[in-house]
Structure 1
Amino acid sequence: MQKGSESNGHIIDMPPRYEECELREGSGSGVPGCWQKCVRFLKRNTIVILTVSGVLIGVGIGTAARNMNLSRAQMTYFAFPGEMLLRMLKMIILPLVVCSLISGAASLDTRSLGKLGAIAVAYFLVTTLLASGLAIALGFIIKPGEGAGALNSNTLGIDDTVPTNKETIDSFLDLARNLFPSNLVAAAFQTYATDYKMIIRNKTLGNATFEKVPVGTEIEGMNILGLVLFALVLGVALKKLGPEGEDLIRFFNSFNEATMVLVSWIMWYVPVGIMFLVGSKIVEMDDIVLLVTSLGKYIFASILGHIIHGGIVLPLIYFAFTRKNPFSFLAGLITPFATAFATCSSSATLPSMIKCIEENNGVDKRISRFILPIGATVNMDGAAIFQCMAAVFIAQLNNAQLNAGQIFTILVTATASSVGAAGVPAGGVLTIAIILEAIGLPTNDLSLILAVDWIVDRTTTVVNVEGDALGAGILHYLNKKDAQKSRQELSEVYVEAVANCKSEGEMSPLVTHRIPASTPSSAAEPEATESVL
């Protein structure tokens, strides 16, 4: 079967690749068929095999390097190849997100865009709520913080620094502010965040009262949320312009395709970078065994939640919509999952995810480049599990009994705050402080979460990107089903119009007809006509 290439929404037949022709020609040359299949498999999955090998080799190198007592400077040099991979992936995020969303929004008509957007929002909301509920249920069943009151930062050698406490209302206001950045250029490298300034009031007779006043600041980090909203609105605006906006749409389409070529080049460096990323993280930890044994129940509960949600809940949702095997769909995304495991960043995984889901799974470019950048920003199923489990763990650590109101607050706050969670390593830890403040728990114990975050954050990111991928697959199926239904309806309208052609008394002025000639050649099927219905 010949492969097709999509251009402006149409499928164009392409000639078979040279490698495929070569294999077909050599099929009768005495070479065993099993060998041909092995060669074809290796060519098709070269990057996947190299990526998985890079993870395994990185674990071995990191374990061996721990016995070498490397200095801080030597650890930095050891991690340099992995740092280069992260820098390349982050470099490509900005043009990829902006151009893919603009071209994706402009390629879909307004009605389809609104329908797909509504389905995507409903999918993101439902899956995140399910993830939060699953985490709380597992927290009450496993009880990871019960009997762990002896844990403290001195015995584990943990840094006591925790994120600055932020009021819940200011966190949600910052989310709204970041949706509409005041400076679009600055949004590429800065994010708005509320800080606090203490002001002295009523200095009388040696007594003074202090007031905490919120102050707006700009912190380093790309404001992807604002860029996503701007790109979507700009794409819709270009679509509304009609012929006047076609030149700019073609520009962003070309820019997007060129970006994907760069992504394909970066993909060949991914195995090397992943190897050193995993190895350097193992070398950096002081005592992995002590951390795992002390916080083992929390780590186990979090990873178990990720396995259940990613291995059962999300595949069942995909199967319920498509009636297709979800694991065959996920099998084509091993490289993005390995990248997510190594980088702990949903945003850094976005380039490889878009490339693999289009080439391996055949998802429509208009769908994948529209939904995946949005999902990498607002869909954080794994982060919701991680945050809710951490909140239950800290509550049990402090012997606090959570009531129904606090549980409901955790569900709502985790779902809402995961939308604004940064798609970077350890980005979810900042939102745990919001949840703890909302239910009245101290944030000092966050240092324990930070100590093992590098372990749990890997499965967190894998579940995050899996939810985005399956969401794109569901939208692709629904969009394809609607297109087939529309073609069937048009075909039925045409058949009725042809049947009524002989009746000159009653004819609909809305339907164009082609009167068949009375020659013998008219016995064949009439030509397709276009209905303006």
Structure 2
Amino acid sequence: MEAARDGKAGSGPNGLAEGPAAEPGAGRLRGCRGFLRRNALVVLTVSGVVAGVALGAAVRGAALSPAQVAYLAFPGELLLRMLRMVILPLVVCSLVSGAASLDTRSLGRLGGIAIAYFLGTTLLASGLAVALGFIIRPGAGASGINAPRLGLAAPVPTSKETVDSFLDLIRNLFPANLVAAAFQTYATDYRMLPRNTTSGNVTWEKIPVGTEIEGMNILGLVLFALVLGVALKKLGQEGEDLIRFFNSFNEATMVLVSWIMWYVPIGIMFLVGSKIVEMEDIVVLVTSLGKYIFASILGHFIHGGIILPLIYFASTRQNPYRFLLGLITPFATAFATCSSSATLPSMIKCIEENNGVDKRISRFILPIGATVNMDGAAIFQCMATVFIAQLNNVDLNPGQIFTILVTATASSVGAAGIPAGGVLTIAIILEAIGLPTNDLSLILAVDWIVDRTTTVVNVEGDALGAGILNYLNEKEKKDKEQELKEVNVEAVANSKSEAETSPLVTHKNQVSNTSSTADPESKESVL
């Protein structure tokens, strides 16, 4: 009878075991459901990339017209428009609230560390690219490659003087009109004017002329937002209302970002699919420029997979790959959109929710990093410069190499966080070392391949920088708390002297010494 009762207790209504044997399977199922629930967006985003590749491969054989390809890319275009829509309020509000929430000393300290990190990693990236360029020699033996032979008709950017490029960078830091800075940026153009010489000949002189071109001046908006946040902090009580306004605006923008994030997998699928359909003859390009593509992607892999994680580990003594695992969604967005600015909303959301980075740190440093920290772009630009030099059989001397490193590091600060934004700055480097810019059409032809890993490394550098600053900030807080505890302990230890003891405070040793002579009512008066 006891055996029968045991048998009935171990089976359910359908005769299935419900005892301990069924618990491991049910536990695994619950764990799997919990994992999918927590990481649903990551799984959907990665699935969107895979589905986009499959969609592009399937539709590629249908010989779609340019209009039909544009229709195919329409859902992806909507994603880009939505992400760009929230960039302006996100950058301005997050920087104002972030600068206002940090005290001036912390702001200066964190800002100094961030600038040192950005410049140091970008310089390391530039040096790595030049070294790989001399080791792999992607342009050696490829002097016969040219754009007409490959059937390329890519437009070459107008060359600009190096001095004018850096002056434009400084001018954009101080926009003359904040409203216009939301959709226009300053750029120097040139006008040719005739000059009569004393001998009667006519010479043409190139005169720089200031123009406004389409594109958000994020650099100027970043500087203005930082200064405005510091000014509001200095106002004290009078600036609290405006600080609360920017904080509320920032939180509302993040709610919009969380809604947009659920559309990301669909948009990524059509972005990737349409880009694959647009390819004309990828085999010819890859075989002709394969060494350049391989060298660039290898540089991104080494810098993003080894150097940056090592810097993070050396600074925090924490696992960098576990930190990066929580950022798969913004990395996939960067890979699909090729835009650091468009990836900024998802990066801020994921780094706060998945990695626990302080909002004041992430919303202060990530918008700055998306504007000035371009490690991937520096690798891409230096590799392209070395490639073009080898293509033209030019042996770079130490002075030219130094010029490449400095110019690439400085010009990457002003590189636009948009697709193919880094190509425009390669012309600056080529002009600085005296190389022709007509071979840039080759770089533009394969830019859509290299630009994907470029953007991933750019946003990875921003994320790891935010993680390092968050760790240093938390460490400083703990050190301050420890100092306060030690001061309190010393105060209790030195309180034996009656002359230094406040009459309002009764210490334990004083209570014990006076308990024998004082009446019971005096024992209760402690403050």
Same fold (TM over 0.5): yes
Compute the displacement of 1:155 (Å): 2.3
1:63 alignment counterpart = 57
2:202 aligns to what SS in structure 1?
strand
Give the TM-score taking structure 2 as reference length.
0.91
Residue type of the partner of 2:507?
Answer: P
Going from structure 1 to structure 2, the CA distance change for 1:162 and 1:514 (only over 3 Å counts) comes to farther
Structure 1 residues 360-509: aligned runs within 5 Å: 360-506=354-500
Bigger Rg, structure 1 or 2 = 2
CA deviation profile, 1:472-530 (whole Å, cap 9, x unmatched): 000000000000000110111111112223323347x9xx984437668x99xxxxx9x
2:285 to 291, 296, 300: 291
Residue type of the partner of 2:466?
Answer: A
2:245 to 243, 251, 263: 251
1:333 to 327, 336, 345: 327
Compute the displacement of 1:284 (Å): 1.1
2:507 to 509, 513, 516: 516
Quick one: distance in 2 between partners of 1:460 and 1:514?
64
Quick one: distance in 2 between partners of 1:504 and 1:237?
48
Quick one: distance in 2 between partners of 1:211 and 1:256?
49
Paired residues of 2:154 and 2:445 also in contact (CA < 8 A): no
Paired residues of 1:82 and 1:275 also in contact (CA < 8 A): yes
2:305 is the counterpart of 1:311: yes
2:417 aligns to what SS in structure 1?
coil
User: Which piece of structure 1 moves more, 391-400 or 204-213?
Assistant: 204-213
2:519 alignment counterpart = none
Residue type of the partner of 1:457?
Answer: D
RMSD: 2.0
Quick one: distance in 1 between partners of 2:484 and 2:154?
67
Residue type of the partner of 1:304?
Answer: L
2:142 aligns to what SS in structure 1?
coil
Paired residues of 1:238 and 1:245 also in contact (CA < 8 A): yes
Paired residues of 2:338 and 2:455 also in contact (CA < 8 A): yes
Paired residues of 2:376 and 2:453 also in contact (CA < 8 A): yes
Going from structure 1 to structure 2, the CA distance change for 1:245 and 1:28 (only over 3 Å counts) comes to farther
Going from structure 1 to structure 2, the CA distance change for 1:115 and 1:266 (only over 3 Å counts) comes to same
Paired residues of 2:154 and 2:444 also in contact (CA < 8 A): no
1:150 alignment counterpart = 144
Quick one: distance in 2 between partners of 1:446 and 1:267?
35
Going from structure 1 to structure 2, the CA distance change for 1:64 and 1:29 (only over 3 Å counts) comes to closer
Compute the displacement of 1:450 (Å): 0.1
CA deviation profile, 1:343-402 (whole Å, cap 9, x unmatched): 000000000000000000000000000000000000000000000000000000000000
Paired residues of 2:415 and 2:421 also in contact (CA < 8 A): yes
2:422 aligns to what SS in structure 1?
helix
Paired residues of 1:387 and 1:431 also in contact (CA < 8 A): yes
2:111 is the counterpart of 1:120: no
Quick one: distance in 2 between partners of 1:128 and 1:54?
31
Paired residues of 1:306 and 1:459 also in contact (CA < 8 A): yes
Quick one: distance in 1 between partners of 2:350 and 2:116?
25
2:143 aligns to what SS in structure 1?
coil
Paired residues of 1:378 and 1:419 also in contact (CA < 8 A): yes
| Structure 1: gaps (5+ residues) | 1-26, 524-528
Quick one: distance in 1 between partners of 2:505 and 2:447?
69
User: Which piece of structure 1 moves more, 151-160 or 463-472?
Assistant: 151-160
Aligned residues: percent identity?
A: 79
2:224 alignment counterpart = 230
Give the TM-score taking structure 1 as reference length.
0.90
CA deviation profile, 1:138-176 (whole Å, cap 9, x unmatched): 000000000111111122111142000100000000000
Compute the displacement of 1:182 (Å): 0.3
1:196 aligns to what SS in structure 2?
strand
Compute the displacement of 1:244 (Å): 1.0
How many residue pairs were aligned? 494
CA deviation profile, 1:158-212 (whole Å, cap 9, x unmatched): 1142000100000000000000000001000000000000111117887311111
Quick one: distance in 1 between partners of 2:396 and 2:475?
45
